[in-house]
A and B are shown apart, each in its own frame.
Chain A
């Protein structure tokens, strides 16, 4: 029987496997976004907003910077056995004017990334147990070739 696919953390992203999105918040008074979502205070010091709408963040953005994890991270990271290094990207979302971190999908190395490259959000397995696959958001390059020029 197939394992049940569940989010590794509730409420941070939608479980739409075709077009997933990060779930953030938007201040109804000044328009400031937050990820993870905010419920109590607006990060903007000039705003006294206390109401926030839950919003899906842009599914595409451009790489602000990137790296990889050559060594197995310590707990509470749950590594695959054997450990497989993965890339990490910080991605700039144009509409939200913010940068969001994420792992890069397996099989994409830092060689295939550069500052400014366009990526999109997908869901992928973070770790598994006997009954579940725990999913998390990851970034995947939109085109397979390396972007020309940084920004």
Chain B
């Protein structure tokens, strides 16, 4: 491994999240052009295009890298496309970073975009009795919010989390995202309003569950050498670590879309019962030699308001069972010790799957540059993103300036 595993974030760009109903290529293109302009890099200078795939938009979605490259105009750039469910964006970042660190290219473009249907995420059509994602809908009627609700209810029964705590996460994120021009929902809400919204999967209510959105996000990444030569803007934000870890056996926490956890019956000796999520950011911290105590902010995957509290513990902001106290003390609100989801999070964006992990990195980049008006974490130097994709895809990116 090279001594210095950092790569520069030269540019970040987004197409605003919403329910625009247009082709996903358009969102990716807008985001890519914004990121290139932000970087001051020409499209022709990009050596490697890394696309984050979506399964929803037919073949072009599955081959996102080439699709975006064609939309920008063929230049002969090297290309890759990858799918890692909700973690696709981080996987695409990891691919670009590896190319740069290996010296195979100087500057790379990472793009992800999605167009989503209305309502619950449903599995791909047809009768597919060997696909757990199809079977969990068919045999259990277990939607994504059902799995989020299992974690939420467990927090309540084990740690005394309350309905008000979950609502308070939503209130916080709504306030954070209020002035974010790329957020889809920009409206403050009250605890009462959240608690009055319909129950979807007990104890989670409609306003506590993230929607599905259209959106696009892009990054221009380069070697530090290229950034110096290029005269990149000051302060230079770098990706200091990328974690794309898989779970470790035995994973005894139930994960979407599975029917069961691993069995620990064949394991001799001690094993970690905390499950997969805590290992995700830890791998990024270990890689960078930076710990959670160094963080100024975090962007985490709040698929539900309650899940954000799990992430506080999983990224090391506090110990197990302490997340509610951290929230109640205001530590994770703008102005607090370590604001979480200053962008407004998925709560204000809704999820545009292949773009979301990239969008988290865009937000961290703007925060570390001091370019997040209305939601700026003052003096931020270190930021982390965290996310988990279906079927065992961890995703965490550590950024510093």
Considering residues B252, B253, B260, B267, which has the most beta carbons from chain A within 10 angstroms of its beta carbon?
B260
Question: Cβ of A101 and Cβ of B122 under 8 Å apart?
Answer: no
The interface bits of chain A over 92-129 (1 if a CB of B lies within 8 angstroms of the residue's CB, else 0) are: 00011111111100000010001110000000001000
Residue of A47, A67, A86, A100 near B259 (CB, 8 A) is A100
Question: Cβ of A98 and Cβ of B260 under 8 Å apart?
Answer: yes
Interface: B320 (CB within 8 A): no
User: Complex Cα distance A95/B264, Å?
Assistant: 9
User: Complex Cα distance A62/B392, Å?
Assistant: 25
- Knowing A66-B153, A101-B142 touch, does A76 contact B259 (C-beta < 8 A)? no
- Counting residue pairs across A and B whose Cβ atoms lie within 8 Å, the total is 147
User: Complex Cα distance A116/B153, Å?
Assistant: 12
Interface: B80 (CB within 8 A): no
Question: Cβ of B265 and Cβ of A66 under 8 Å apart?
Answer: no
Residue of A73, A99, A114 near B141 (CB, 8 A) is A73
User: Complex Cα distance A96/B157, Å?
Assistant: 23
Collect the chain A residues with CB atoms within 8 Å of residue B260's CB: 34-36, 98-101
Residue of A8, A27, A43, A78 near B249 (CB, 8 A) is A43
Question: Cβ of B137 and Cβ of A74 under 8 Å apart?
Answer: yes
Interface: B37 (CB within 8 A): no
Which residues from 1 to 34 on chain A have a C-beta closer than 8 Å to any C-beta of chain B? 8-9, 27, 30-34
Collect the chain A residues with CB atoms within 8 Å of residue B266's CB: 27, 30-33, 42, 44, 47
Interface: B201 (CB within 8 A): yes
Question: Cβ of A115 and Cβ of B154 under 8 Å apart?
Answer: yes
Interface: B119 (CB within 8 A): yes
Which residues from 46 to 80 on chain A have a C-beta closer than 8 Å to any C-beta of chain B? 47, 64-71, 73-79
Interface size range on B against A: 35 or more
Collect the chain B residues with CB atoms within 8 Å of residue A97's CB: 250, 252, 263-265, 267
Question: Cβ of B263 and Cβ of A96 under 8 Å apart?
Answer: yes
Question: Cβ of B151 and Cβ of A65 under 8 Å apart?
Answer: yes
Collect the chain B residues with CB atoms within 8 Å of residue A150's CB: 157-158
Considering residues B129, B201, B249, B263, which has the most beta carbons from chain A within 10 angstroms of its beta carbon?
B263
The interface bits of chain B over 302-315 (1 if a CB of A lies within 8 angstroms of the residue's CB, else 0) are: 00000000000000
Question: Cβ of B154 and Cβ of A43 under 8 Å apart?
Answer: no
Question: Cβ of B199 and Cβ of A31 under 8 Å apart?
Answer: no
Residue of B120, B129, B252 near A99 (CB, 8 A) is B252
Collect the chain B residues with CB atoms within 8 Å of residue A100's CB: 259-260
Residue of B143, B152, B203 near A69 (CB, 8 A) is B143
Collect the chain B residues with CB atoms within 8 Å of residue A32's CB: 250, 262-263, 265-267
Question: Cβ of A43 and Cβ of B141 under 8 Å apart?
Answer: no
Question: Cβ of B137 and Cβ of A69 under 8 Å apart?
Answer: no
Interface residues of chain B, those whose CB is within 8 Å of chain A, are 119-120, 122-123, 127, 129, 134-143, 146, 149-154, 157-158, 198-204, 249-250, 252-254, 258-267
Supply 30 A–B pairs (Cβ within 8 Å), ascending by A: A9-B135, A9-B139, A32-B250, A32-B267, A36-B259, A44-B250, A66-B150, A67-B146, A67-B152, A67-B201, A67-B202, A70-B198, A70-B200, A70-B201, A73-B137, A73-B141, A73-B142, A73-B143, A74-B122, A76-B123, A76-B127, A78-B138, A86-B141, A95-B265, A96-B263, A97-B252, A98-B261, A101-B136, A110-B153, A110-B202
Closest 7 CB pairs of A and B: A32-B266, A67-B149, A30-B266, A33-B263, A97-B264, A73-B141, A115-B157
